[in-house]
């Protein structure tokens, strides 16, 4: 279904085959390889070597557990993730509380190896497991009046100890335009490296939008609302002069306080070479048409 978008090497291509890969995932890997051979790349394929599991799970932004990069790994164990459900409401035919196990029983989990670029100018390569957001939206039946999708993270200050400080206006919220949400690259991720999603990475289920800065990829989602109005987003509410709604990775539009032209791959050591940042984080071919006619400098 979506394998055509996996124009990256998969985990399987760069590491020995692991037992967890099912047949469909292996096929995804082969499709990915085929496309990768055809697609010219600005950066070498080596930059799609997955970042180590330990790095992905110990250097995090999850402000519900504190503001330090190591706080989520220290504190996220408090989070209860079972039972878990997602309320899907707004402009849908079948609104309701969808139990996560019921959702998962209707989805096929694939592996997607994506570049992940934080607005703070660091990056990783993450082998996610998940399913396309579009498949979940189809379950709920999106009505034709809907134009945007709003997302909300759990609010549970007893477990998410960072929510006891007013660092952000909790709960964390994010949003996408409906066509962005329906794009085959847009993933609801339930794991990394074939393991259940670690709590610090947004257990049990989070969004991954690989062509946008990492803060759009909202974690531990409990509510999805279809709406006809552009939804508020946490970082735009907090610092509107620095963060907009779109937040597409763009090496030509600097953050007001730093350059976005290059990035620091995490895990390569302190002296690791910075690498050039790619337009739309390397997914320009797939997503540029979503923004035709828009001023990408203004719609940051």
Site of interaction with ligand MTE (CB under 6 A):
60-64, 118, 153, 172, 201, 214-215, 217-220
CB of 295 to ligand MTE, least distance (A): 25
**C-alpha separations of 237 from 149, 167, 172, 233, 241 in Å:** 17, 12, 10, 6, 9
CB of 47 to ligand MTE, least distance (A): 17
Nearer to ligand MTE, 3 or 246 (CB): 246
Nearer to ligand MTE, 153 or 236 (CB): 153
CA 193-121-198 angle, to 5 degrees, is 25
Nearer to ligand MTE, 115 or 183 (CB): 115
List beta partners, residue 113. 127
Q: Which of 117, 144, 110 is nearest to 20 (CA)?
A: 110
Q: Given phi > 0 = left and psi -120 to 50 = alpha, else beta, which region is 220?
A: left
Tokens of 176: 């996408």
Nearer to ligand MTE, 114 or 172 (CB): 172
CB of 33 to ligand MTE, least distance (A): 26
CB of 87 to ligand MTE, least distance (A): 16
Distance CA 144, CA 17 (A): 43
E strand spans, the chain: 85-90, 96-99, 110-117, 122-132, 148-153, 173-177, 187-192, 195-196, 206-208, 221-227, 262-265, 275-276
Nearer to ligand MTE, 73 or 140 (CB): 73
Distance CA 274, CA 184 (A): 29
CB of 76 to ligand MTE, least distance (A): 10
Nearest-10 Cα torsion for 123, 127, 130, 131: 80
Nearer to ligand MTE, 91 or 265 (CB): 265
Residue nearest ligand MTE (C-beta atom): 214
CB of 111 to ligand MTE, least distance (A): 16
């Amino acid at each position: 279904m979506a394998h055509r978008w996996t124009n990256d090497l998969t985990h399987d291509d760069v590491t020995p085959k692991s037992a967890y890969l099912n047949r469909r995932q292996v096929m995804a890997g082969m499709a990915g390889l085929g496309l990768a051979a055809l697609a010219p790349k600005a950066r070498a394929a080596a930059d799609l070597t997955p970042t180590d599991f330990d790095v992905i799970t110990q250097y995090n932004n999850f402000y519900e557990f504190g503001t330090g990069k190591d706080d989520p790994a220290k504190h996220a164990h408090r989070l209860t993730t079972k039972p878990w459900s997602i309320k899907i409401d707004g402009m849908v035919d079948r609104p309701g509380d969808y139990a996560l196990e019921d959702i998962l029983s209707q989805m096929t989990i694939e592996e997607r190896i994506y570049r992940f670029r934080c607005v703070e100018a660091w990056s990783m390569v993450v082998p996610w497991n998940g399913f396309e957001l579009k498949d979940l939206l189809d379950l709920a039946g999106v009505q034709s009046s809907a134009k945007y999708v709003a997302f909300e993270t759990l609010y549970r200050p007893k477990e998410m100890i960072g929510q006891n400080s007013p660092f952000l206006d909790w709960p964390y919220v994010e949003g996408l335009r409906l066509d962005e949400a329906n794009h085959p690259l847009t993933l609801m991720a339930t794991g990394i490296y074939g393991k259940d999603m670690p709590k610090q990475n947004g257990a049990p289920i989070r969004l991954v939008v690989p062509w946008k800065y990492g803060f759009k990829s909202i974690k531990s989602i409990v509510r999805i609302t279809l709406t006809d109005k552009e939804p508020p987003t946490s970082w735009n509410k907090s610092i509107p002069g620095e963060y907009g709604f779109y937040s597409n990775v763009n090496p030509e539009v600097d953050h007001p306080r730093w350059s976005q032209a290059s990035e620091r791959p995490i895990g390569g050591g302190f002296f690791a070479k910075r690498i050039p940042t790619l337009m739309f984080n390397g997914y320009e071919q797939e997503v540029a048409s979503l923004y035709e006619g828009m001023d990408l400098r203004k719609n940051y």
